[in-house]
Amino acid sequence: MSLPTIIGFSISLLLLIGSILELTTNFKIFLHLSGILMVIGGTLAATLVAYEARYVKMSLGKLKAVFNSPKVTRDMLTNEVARIIRWAYLLQKSGIQALETDAKSIKSQDAFLAYGIGLVISGYTGPEVRSMLENQIETTFQRNTVPVEILKYMASNAPAFGMMATLIGLVVMLDNMGTDPSKLGAGMAVGLLGTLYGVLFARLAIMPAAEKTHQREAIVRFRNLLVAEGLALLAERRSPRFIQDGMNSFLDPSIHFDIDKAPKK
């Protein structure tokens, strides 16, 4: 689980609830099923009209996925450099067959890395490996950020459906004004709460999920570019130290890999 995400979301809810309780103890007045249905139902309906259902389903899954731990961390980037350098030593010492045997377990763990090392084993040149991997990186990034576009579309629509709920509530209120004044409160509640739900749904849930999803995909893209560079240098049969310096050029100096400080095996 992503603890910072959980903490941030929890603090937002606590501040909201605390502000309400500071003004009134009757917090139930902020709960109105009709307003919630109009905002969430309307937003989902409009999104299904605008996008294919499978992409909408993927996007909704991202709302839950933001609470999971990220796939790539800073320490993992250093470990990627170490792995490529280990392969470089193995290639120097024992040849391509040893590299192929060592990399067999990668297939079930990391599809991108398995594809890349497969290109190296197949005998492609460094520029060819770099070109094919960069093509896969960019197309994968484009596919994986489609849910970001959908979530942003939902975030832009939610306040609009909140305003629709407001208008409907006002119509109900005005219709009952001359006949049954006791129903004025219900119409006004739907009207005001619809706008509140729309803003909260967009700004507390959907837009943060979109931004975090995009950031995480960008981090995965950066990691894959790092790996692609290392594999291209490996295909060129560059020395382990050259590969180290080439891959370290992508990284923050504080997490550079150092062959001289690496544990000897």
Confidence of residue 2 (pLDDT cuts 50, 70, 90): confident
Alpha carbons 64 and 123: distance in angstroms, whole number: 42
Alpha carbons 235 and 122: distance in angstroms, whole number: 10
Q: 77 with 11: CB under 8 angstroms?
A: no
Residue 146 amino acid letter = V
Give residue 184's pLDDT. 61
Q: pLDDT tens digit string along 81-104?
A: 999 999 999 999 999 999 988 888
- pTM for the full predicted model: 0.86
Alpha carbons 198 and 174: distance in angstroms, whole number: 22
Q: Where are the domains of the chain?
A: 1-31, 32-265
How big is the CA angle at 161 (ends 158 and 166), to the nearest 5 degrees? 130
Mean pLDDT, residues 74-81: 91
Pick the closest to residue 263 from 139, 143, 85 (CA basis): 85
Pick the closest to residue 5 from 248, 212, 262, 162 (CA basis): 212
Give residue 218's pLDDT. 96
